[in-house]
Amino acid sequence: MTPTTGPEALLHYDTPEFQVIRPGAYVTCAVSGVRIPLERLNYWSVELQEAYASAEFMVRRWRETR
């Protein structure tokens, strides 16, 4: 398991990648609050500029904002 200790990163989410604005070990899922190691970050919203821990959380947020 990848550690999520250390500072939280600040990212700019784009398609198909993200840019690191402030380096860190993790970002926080906008839905669950779970820490996501940057190496495991696969889901985010360009429109909302948020990260998600899973596809399920991404879909849940999409439904909430529609």
Q: For residue range 25-63, what is the model confidence (pLDDT) as tens digits?
A: 999 999 999 999 999 999 999 999 999 999 999 999 999
Residue 44 lies in a domain: yes
Residue 1 lies in a domain: no
Residue 54 lies in a domain: yes
Range of the structural domain that residue 57 is part of:
10-64
Residue 25 lies in a domain: yes
Task: Assign 5 a pLDDT band (cuts: 50, 70, 90).
Answer: confident
Residue 56 lies in a domain: yes
Residue 48 lies in a domain: yes
- CA-CA distance, 6 to 26, in Å (whole number)? 8
- CA-CA distance, 35 to 39, in Å (whole number)? 12
Total-model pTM: 0.90
Residue 32 lies in a domain: yes
Residue 4 lies in a domain: no
Residue 58: strand, helix, or coil: helix
Task: Please tell me the predicted confidence (pLDDT) of residue 43.
Answer: 98
Total structural domains in the chain?
A: 1
